[in-house]
Amino acid sequence: MQTHKAKRVEITIEAVMQSRLTDALKKAGVTGYTVLPVLGGSGRSGEWSRAGQVSRASGMVQVICIIRPERLDGLLEGAFAVVERHIGVVSVTDCDVLRAERF
Amino acid sequence: MQTHKAKRVEITIEAVMQSRLTDALKKAGVTGYTVLPVLGGSGRSGEWSRAGQVSRASGMVQVICIIRPERLDGLLEGAFAVVERHIGVVSVTDCDVLRAERF
Amino acid sequence: MQTHKAKRVEITIEAVMQSRLTDALKKAGVTGYTVLPVLGGSGRSGEWSRAGQVSRASGMVQVICIIRPERLDGLLEGAFAVVERHIGVVSVTDCDVLRAERF
Amino acid sequence: MENLFSLAADNLVSPIILSFVLGVAASLARSDLSIPEAAAKALSIYLLFAIGFKGGVSVAAHGIDARLGLALLAGIILSAALPLVAFALLRLMTAMSRLDAAAVAAHYGSISIVTFVAATSVLESRGIAAEGYMVAVAAAMEAPAILSALWLVARGGGGDSKGMDGALMREIMLNGSIVLLVGAFLIGWATGEEGLAEISSFIVSPFKGVLCLFLLDMGLVAGRGLRQGGGILTPSVLAFGVLMPLIGAAAGLATALALGLTPGGVTLMMVLSASASYIAVPAAMRVALPEANPSLYLTLSLGVTFPFNLTLGIPLYVAVAQALTGG
Amino acid sequence: MENLFSLAADNLVSPIILSFVLGVAASLARSDLSIPEAAAKALSIYLLFAIGFKGGVSVAAHGIDARLGLALLAGIILSAALPLVAFALLRLMTAMSRLDAAAVAAHYGSISIVTFVAATSVLESRGIAAEGYMVAVAAAMEAPAILSALWLVARGGGGDSKGMDGALMREIMLNGSIVLLVGAFLIGWATGEEGLAEISSFIVSPFKGVLCLFLLDMGLVAGRGLRQGGGILTPSVLAFGVLMPLIGAAAGLATALALGLTPGGVTLMMVLSASASYIAVPAAMRVALPEANPSLYLTLSLGVTFPFNLTLGIPLYVAVAQALTGG
Amino acid sequence: MENLFSLAADNLVSPIILSFVLGVAASLARSDLSIPEAAAKALSIYLLFAIGFKGGVSVAAHGIDARLGLALLAGIILSAALPLVAFALLRLMTAMSRLDAAAVAAHYGSISIVTFVAATSVLESRGIAAEGYMVAVAAAMEAPAILSALWLVARGGGGDSKGMDGALMREIMLNGSIVLLVGAFLIGWATGEEGLAEISSFIVSPFKGVLCLFLLDMGLVAGRGLRQGGGILTPSVLAFGVLMPLIGAAAGLATALALGLTPGGVTLMMVLSASASYIAVPAAMRVALPEANPSLYLTLSLGVTFPFNLTLGIPLYVAVAQALTGG
Ligand SMILES: Nc1ncnc2c1ncn2[C@@H]1O[C@H](COP(=O)(O)O)[C@@H](O)[C@H]1O
Ligand SMILES: Nc1ncnc2c1ncn2[C@@H]1O[C@H](COP(=O)(O)O)[C@@H](O)[C@H]1O
Ligand SMILES: Nc1ncnc2c1ncn2[C@@H]1O[C@H](COP(=O)(O)O)[C@@H](O)[C@H]1O
Ligand code: NA
Ligand code: NA
Ligand code: NA
């Protein structure tokens, strides 16, 4: 089938920062994203798990954003401004998408 | 370690369509897939979140399917027939897998 | 923005094996990972779904690990020793990351 | 009429209504208050189980008569017919496309079980008895409306619609809420008062409190919908959301009087006809009419008609039912 | 025997059993009814906490005697020994591999706490008293069976088994359900009747209702298992799933009579021996014997033996225990 | 003093405390016992709704007076002032950085609603009445401490702090727990005793039992925190975690006596001032002071001060309040 080149950006970020990140993404011209729940993880700031947590303080989410390659830089700059001082990970993968008109 | 080329197809689709999609995948010769929950997202049809939802109408899931490259086209055609008239996103990434005999 | 090459390893594994896997990853020098919940799936061992499950026996999780390319082999060996006799899938994708000093 | 106003006022200051209001207010103010999806589903499972069970027990206690069958039949006919009225009204009053109008119409033929539950609890606190089998009527009214709506779309040029296939039909008839409601009804019927005695401190005593939390959640979801989809509420769409329940209630009233139901039964038939689905039908519409706009039907059903019925509708229906049955 | 049949019949029309039946039926009919995982886990936490607590309170009230220690010891021995019987039987009756047979055997030596809970609630409604410390016996019987099964595998050529390592041992002994059950038992014991009074409207009154919803969930999961894994139920495997609980119950009966337990205690010892694990042991098997087929042990335990015990087993065990203790 | 010890001892063997202890023990022993996130959130929603509602009903019953306004004002001042004390103490006693000290200080100015709930339930079982509006005071005390802490950071060179922006301000003032607490309080106030009668078998009778499960969860989370972050508990940090609640309690005591509150009200004001936030403030700190170490503030608040207040603090505060008010 006809596919088109795109970039898949995956940002793992604290739940408290989710709305700030998605606002920044929208400003950077992103038209869509998907948010996945995260159960737990480990990094330089230690291990954590969502089990039993009531506060939003110690949870993370994964925001996935598929965009046209030419938009990548704008997105990364917008995302970086939010993520910069926070824990979390940003990765970019090449991908092919169906229905490119959507991105 | 010995790895093998494969394709990782990721389909974000409405929860109500999940069983129709996985049926189509099976028909296209897919031997395995994994379903991830989705918390929320945004796209041309607006923003949504799973919080507090009782109806299955407004949730999405992410179906991940790793296959041998030669099977990709069959899979995409099967998936596309289901996804076509629905909201959602299909992306394909190159990957390497261990234990290739499983795919 | 300045990005760096890295590898994104994704291991879908039984929930009961999660702590054994992450222990093995740490031994292989992995400094961080993220765990995603899995709703259900299908493979050679049949179909399953997390709905209504009380036992940990029939759930899976997805462990995502972003590492420098030179660490990949160590990680895969560590992971393989745990996954070997168990159901589950290991895939590796090329990616680019911000803030490479974190990996 | 005085009765009506005092009933409405009483109704408005109940913890149940105010919990809904709290949810809407919190959402509109963009508080991050939210009920986890799993908890919301658990609450709804509890409510369906409890209401079904109690209906069954009541049937076990009072026996059934020919009216049960007739009421079921009447419910099915109402559910199938009301979408036609709603559709005509929408095409007349609003600028909605055929597709959207059909999707919305399906919701108004079908029913909202929480509205039914809220009405039951008002009846109870007023000491007004109702036929236990109205729960079964509620279940019977869930699905027919969907078929009518799909027929409306097919008639207007099936190209837009995937139509109904076997899988969808099975999904609709066996959707979780119908199965649970009917199943609990049958269990209640089979085990009767004795069964109720065993579990009444679970399904009877805490019922209203659980309903409060559930309505809090519905308020949160409705408020979010209004915030995001409120733009679609043109005056004519809004007018439909208030007018249609009144038309439905009138149809329910006529039917119930013809059947000779008790005052409580009349009220519940009005409530069922007046209420709009927000669980089963939206899911079916996503499958069968994916191009219809979900904001439209969800905002109308949950953001307009549900609160209208909850606050003004129910006391009105109770008052009218009592007046006309002399109950 | 008349007593037995009426007991069984009574048992069958209880809301608890019928909720399980509803779950199985909904699953087999492929309804999308489901209880969220988090809600199912919450229900099970509630049940474990409540049953443990009440057991502890009962020990606080009646004191303990030498029998407690003996009963614990007997439980451990039963749990360790029954897998040997089950294994031999499986190798004799069915075509199962050593590995699968050992994995299945582990389940039958261990216990199902919901079966225990259901039996407790039958005893209560019949007014038959039981030793409160049977809860502790239940906890003690969870793990030994796993060791026996791993020994069976190791003996037959350890190549197949990862065997037991320290981490697994700790996981088994400290698995959530054992810790919660024992912990709540100790809390109940420490706080006694006074503690119970504080929280009885949470852990006593709604107990049976919560159990209904939990059994609905178990029915849904069991039905799904039967739909997907039903193929493995050859007649001989099925026969094992019904025969083994009877053998277990007989062993439990002999032990309990030797210990001189009350009629209730005898019943519960039979139930524990007859029941098959479906929480702790499956998880341990996935770690220790990953090549064993989970459909086999889950379908047998949850799809065959659990419903058998729930419907026919428990009334049978109660009747036998009463007959033989003159209770 | 005898009174104090017996109160403390009584307190220690209550199911509530022991549930917390069980959670901590299970976590430290690395059991896999856990309460699903959704269930934990549901429990906390229940507790907030119930405690807010009951507070409102009590205000409806006893009316309000000028003291309500004064108590709210006093709470706000305490919440804003205590972080300054905590900050100074931390910089004096420990080696914490300015940033970490400010973040920790914010927690101690704000409040822990579960500590408040636990105190309420101790007061109730002792038959000591308290002002219903203390719930509103609790809500008012959540946020001011955060502003003080951010001011402390800004003063010391704003470079470290993102400072407060409008979005954060709204998030803090409208965070879910404040909105639910205040909302339920208003609903309780509006519907009064009548409203309570409707839902008391949901929000009153099972309350303590639900609290047990919630404390079990808090114990599990606190134990996990201690296991992972226990290293940061140097003797001086630990000393702060015990000393600061006593200072807070003293400040609360003075304020409450000046206001002329009832013995129960005095106790609750002490408890609020002594307790440290673990829901709203940590979330705000992650946004506003992301470089501050969350292990520090979470371990101190949930792993040290919360258990201290729960076990020794509350009985002490009750005894002191009774002694000094002659209550
Ligand atoms: N290398 C990594 N791969 C995947 N996820 C990571 C990685 N490093 C950090 N994370 C995630 O980001 C969170 C914060 O990481 P850190 O900033 O290193 O404390 C962790 O808890 C993980 O969920
Ligand atoms: N560019 C994108 N990247 C990631 N997810 C997307 C994207 N666009 C849409 N989605 C997901 O697909 C859903 C439906 O999108 P749409 O069809 O554009 O309304 C959204 O709610 C997102 O969850
Ligand atoms: N090709 C695949 N793509 C994605 N996930 C898979 C695939 N095969 C297996 N899985 C996942 O791994 C689990 C076990 O697979 P298996 O070992 O084949 O039974 C399945 O239930 C899926 O969740
Ligand atoms: Na209707
Ligand atoms: Na057994
Ligand atoms: Na404080």
pLDDT averaged per 10 residues in sequence order, chain C, 103 residues = 94 95 94 96 92 88 96 94 92 93 81
CATH number for the domain including F122?
1.20.1530.20
> Average per-residue pLDDT in chain B?
93
How many independent structural domains does chain F possess? Answer: 1
Could you identify the atom of ligand 3 that is nearest to the CA of residue C88? Answer: 12
Q: Is residue D152 part of a domain?
A: yes
Q: How far is it, in rounded angstroms, from Cα F275 to Cα F21?
A: 18
**Chain C residues touching residue E34 (CB < 8 angstroms):** 51-52
Domain enclosing residue A84, as ranges: 4-88
Could you identify the atom of ligand 2 that is nearest to the CA of residue B42? Answer: 21
Nearest to E241 by CA among E135, E44, E96, E77: E96
User: Cβ distance A90 to C34 under 8 Å?
Assistant: no
CATH number for the domain including C13?
3.30.70.120
Nearest CA owner, ligand 3 atom 2? B32
- Full pLDDT tens readout for chain E, 327 residues: 556 677 677 778 899 999 999 999 999 999 999 999 999 999 999 999 999 999 999 999 988 888 899 999 999 999 999 999 999 999 999 999 999 999 999 999 999 999 999 999 999 999 999 999 999 999 999 999 999 999 999 988 755 456 678 889 999 999 999 999 999 999 999 999 999 999 999 999 999 999 999 999 999 999 999 998 878 999 999 999 999 999 999 999 999 999 999 999 999 999 999 999 999 999 999 999 999 999 999 999 999 999 999 999 999 999 999 999 986
Chains contacting D (3 or more CB pairs within 8 Å): B, E, F
Among A16, A54, A85, the residue with its CB nearest the CB of F41 is: A54
Lowest mean pLDDT among B56-60, C32-36, E32-36, F276-280: B56-60
Q: How far is it, in rounded angstroms, from Cα C50 to Cα E36?
A: 8
Burial of F9 (0-12, 13-18, 19+ CB in 10 A): exposed
- What digits encode the pLDDT tens for the residues D25-58? 999 999 999 999 999 999 999 999 999 999 999 9
Q: How far is it, in rounded angstroms, from Cα F152 to Cα F162?
A: 13
* Secondary structure in 3-state letters for chain D: CHHHHHHHHHHHCCHHHHHHHHHHHHHHCCCCCCCCHHHHHHHHHHHHHHHHHHHHHHHHHHCCCHHHHHHHHHHHHHHHHHHHHHHHHHHHHCCCCHHHHHHHHHHHHCCCHHHHHHHHHHHHHCCCCCCCCHHHHHHHCCCHHHHHHHHHHHHCCHHHCCCCCHHHHHHHHCCHHHHHHHHHHHHHHHHHHHHHHHHHHHHCCCHHHHHHHHHHHHHHHHHHHHHHHHHHCCHHHHHHHHHHHHHHHHHHHHHHHHHCCCHHHHHHHHHHHHCCCCCHHHHHHHHHCCCCCHHHHHHHHHHHHHHHHHHHHHHHHHHHHHHHHCC
Could you identify the atom of ligand 1 that is nearest to the CA of residue A87? Answer: 17
Is the Cα torsion angle E187, E192, E197, E202 positive or negative in sign? positive
Q: How far is it, in rounded angstroms, from Cα E300 to Cα E232?
A: 9
Q: How far is it, in rounded angstroms, from Cα D139 to Cα D183?
A: 10
Per DSSP bridges, beta strands A88-97 and A4-14 are antiparallel
User: How much is the pLDDT for E2?
Assistant: 59
Query: Is the entire prediction scored with pTM above 0.90?
Result: yes
Q: Is residue B93 part of a domain?
A: no
Secondary structure (DSSP) of F254-279? HHHHHHT--HHHHHHHHHHHH---SS
- What digits encode the pLDDT tens for the residues A14-53? 999 999 999 999 999 998 999 999 999 999 988 999 999 9
Residue of E nearest to C85 (CA): E290
User: Which residues line the pocket of ligand 3, CB cutoff 6 A?
Assistant: B 31-34, 64-66, 102-103; C 12, 41-45, 48, 60, 87-89
Report whether pLDDT(D1) > 60. no
Q: Is residue E28 part of a domain?
A: no
- What digits encode the pLDDT tens for the residues F39-94? 999 999 999 999 999 999 999 998 888 889 999 999 999 999 999 999 999 999 99
Q: What stretch of H or E contains A57? A: none
- Please tell me if the CB atom of residue B60 comes closer than 6 angstroms to any atom of ligand 2: yes
> Average per-residue pLDDT in chain D?
94
Q: Ligand 6 centre from F222 Cα, in Å?
A: 18
- What digits encode the pLDDT tens for the residues D265-315? 999 999 999 999 999 999 999 999 999 999 999 999 999 999 999 999 999
User: How much is the pLDDT for E45?
Assistant: 98
User: How much is the pLDDT for F117?
Assistant: 97
Quick one: pLDDT band at residue F102, thresholds 50, 70, 90? very high
Chains contacting B (3 or more CB pairs within 8 Å): A, C, D
**Chain D residues touching residue B59 (CB < 8 angstroms):** 37
Report whether pLDDT(D158) > 60. no
Name C11's bridge partners: C63, C90
**Chain B residues touching residue C94 (CB < 8 angstroms):** 94
Are the beta carbons of E283 and C49 separated by less than 8 Å? Answer: no
Report whether pLDDT(A100) > 90. no
- What digits encode the pLDDT tens for the residues A42-89? 999 889 999 999 988 889 999 999 999 999 999 999 999 999 999 999
Coil/strand/helix, residue F207: helix
Are the beta carbons of B52 and D228 separated by less than 8 Å? Answer: no
Q: Is residue A52 part of a domain?
A: yes
Residue A82 identity (one-letter amino acid): V
User: How much is the pLDDT for D8?
Assistant: 74
User: How much is the pLDDT for F118?
Assistant: 97
| Mutate: best of D187, D204, D207, D217, partner E, most E CBs <10 A | D187
Report whether pLDDT(D245) > 90. yes
Neighbour tally for F211: CB within 10 Å? 27
How many independent structural domains does chain C possess? Answer: 1
Torsion angle in degrees (nearest 10) through CA of D4, D9, D13, D18: 80
Q: Is residue B96 part of a domain?
A: no
- Name all contacts of D257-262 with Cβ < 8 Å and 24+ positions apart: D257/D324, D257/D325, D258/D74, D259/D67, D259/D70, D259/D71, D259/D74, D260/D67, D261/D67, D261/D71, D261/D131, D262/D129, D262/D130, D262/D131, D262/D325, D262/D327
User: Cβ distance D281 to D150 under 8 Å?
Assistant: no
Chains contacting E (3 or more CB pairs within 8 Å): C, D, F
User: How much is the pLDDT for F231?
Assistant: 87
User: How much is the pLDDT for C101?
Assistant: 81
Q: How far is it, in rounded angstroms, from Cα E59 to Cα D266?
A: 54
Two tokens, residue D67: 């009216």
Secondary structure (DSSP) of E69-89? HHHHHHHHHHHHHHHHHHHHH
Nearest to A32 by CA among F3, B41, E173: B41
Quick one: pLDDT band at residue A101, thresholds 50, 70, 90? confident
User: Cβ distance D110 to D274 under 8 Å?
Assistant: no
Q: Is residue D190 part of a domain?
A: yes
User: How much is the pLDDT for E326?
Assistant: 82
User: How much is the pLDDT for F248?
Assistant: 98
Vertex D92 angle, CA D89 and D95, to 5°: 110
Burial of C73 (0-12, 13-18, 19+ CB in 10 A): exposed
Q: How far is it, in rounded angstroms, from Cα F317 to Cα F327?
A: 13
Q: Is residue A97 part of a domain?
A: no
Domain enclosing residue F222, as ranges: 2-21+37-325
User: How much is the pLDDT for D286?
Assistant: 95
User: Cβ distance D142 to D277 under 8 Å?
Assistant: yes
Are the beta carbons of B16 and D286 separated by less than 8 Å? Answer: yes
Q: Is residue A60 part of a domain?
A: yes
Q: Is residue F220 part of a domain?
A: yes
Report whether pLDDT(D214) > 80. yes
User: Tokens 């824990």 appear where?
Assistant: A87
Q: Is residue B72 part of a domain?
A: yes
Q: Is residue B98 part of a domain?
A: no
User: How much is the pLDDT for F64?
Assistant: 82
Report whether pLDDT(F2) > 80. no
| Mutate: best of E35, E41, E44, E45, partner F, most F CBs <10 A | E45
- Please tell me if the CB atom of residue C66 comes closer than 6 angstroms to any atom of ligand 1: yes
User: How much is the pLDDT for F49?
Assistant: 98
Report whether pLDDT(F280) > 70. yes
Quick one: pLDDT band at residue F230, thresholds 50, 70, 90? confident
Are the beta carbons of C20 and E167 separated by less than 8 Å? Answer: yes
User: How much is the pLDDT for E4?
Assistant: 67
- E and A interact (at least 3 Cβ pairs within 8 A): no
Lowest mean pLDDT among D189-193, F4-8, F268-272: F4-8
User: Cβ distance D264 to D123 under 8 Å?
Assistant: yes
The ipTM of this complex is 0.96
User: How much is the pLDDT for E153?
Assistant: 94
Q: Is residue B102 part of a domain?
A: no
